[in-house]
Amino acid sequence: MRILLVDDEVELTDPLSHLLRRQGYSVDVASDGETGAQMAISGQYDLLILDRMLSKMSGLEICQKVRSQALSTPVLFLTAKDTLDDRVDGLDAGADDYLVKPFELRELLARVRALLRRPGSPSVASPSILQFEDLKLQVENQLVSRNGKSIELSDKEVQLLAYLMRSPHQLLTHAQIYDAVWGEGSAPSSNTLAAQMRLLRKKIEQPGQPVLIHTVYGKGYRLGSAA
């Protein structure tokens, strides 16, 4: 599932985006309202997390713009304001939930899961358990098994696997993987990604088992089919 986080506080977006990616979500970050609005109305996201106060365009205006495009993407507001008028304004604009700063990260994750489970959300399946053929991943507990046999993976390998499992049979480019797993602007070298993929494959593809992760040379990787 894809989440858009729009907030101009790097001290918040860095740890929060990292936490969400560790839970297996694909996260994009925008640091101003105008950029966030352009990304939000693309319709490519399962959830929008918007700061109320932003430069160039407020979170309230982004929400109004999204709803004007007839998009039902759930919206969670992060705000330092907690007056009744603020909450009413946000709900009237089309927000689905409010979280007042400062907040506990566990509570934010619970709100995210609740919004993504709501009927009518772009994706209603729980993101906490992923399965592809005989491979199963419990994202929150980082428990991986294939054909019932447990597999030990590192944090980064879990993030890679979760991202692949959320888009089976699709070509995921190097750039998409970098942004989803390492974060925008912090991509490792291509050799690092290749090495991580080799380690992941070695753990989930034992001799005699069908190959699950395929390299699309010069482009990226695909889970589930060679072509």
Q: What is the pLDDT of residues 75-116, one digit of tens each?
A: 999 887 766 777 777 777 788 888 888 888 888 888 898 888
Looking at the predicted structure, is the pLDDT value of residue 140 above 80?
A: no
Rounded average pLDDT over 32-55: 89
Domain boundaries, the chain: 2-117, 129-223
Q: Regarding beta strands 75-79 and 97-100, do their DSSP bridges make them parallel or antiparallel, or are they unpaired? A: parallel
Asked if residue 156 has pLDDT above 70, the reply is yes
pLDDT at 6 over 90: yes
Note the pTM of the prediction, 2 decimals.
0.56
Q: Is 156 in contact with 165 (CB distance < 8 Å)? A: no
Q: Which of 65, 64, 68, 71 is nearest to 93 (CA)?
A: 64
Is 129-223 the same fold as 2-117?
no
Partners of residue 26 on adjacent β-strands? 2
Percent of the chain with pLDDT over 90: 17
Distance CA 203, CA 59 (A): 43
Q: Which of the pair, 120 or 175, is modelled with greater confidence?
A: 175
Q: What is the per-residue pLDDT for 125?
A: 41
Averaged pLDDT for residues 11-17: 86
Return the pLDDT at 144. Answer: 92
Give the fold, CATH level 3, of 2-117.
Rossmann fold (3.40.50)
Which of 44-48, 103-107, 223-227 has the lowest average pLDDT?
Answer: 223-227
Q: Mean pLDDT, to the nearest integer, of 33-46?
A: 88
So what CATH class is 129-223?
mainly alpha
Least trusted range by pLDDT, from 71-75, 123-127, 218-222: 123-127
Range of weakest confidence among 36-40, 67-71, 79-83, 120-124 = 120-124
Identify which has the larger pLDDT, 123 or 84: 84
Rounded mean pLDDT of the chain? Answer: 83
Reported confidence tier of residue 139, pLDDT bands at 50, 70, 90: confident
> 3-state DSSP call for residue 6?
strand
pLDDT of residue 130: 84
How far is Cα 156 from Cα 203, in angstroms, rounded to an integer?
13
At 126 the pLDDT is 41
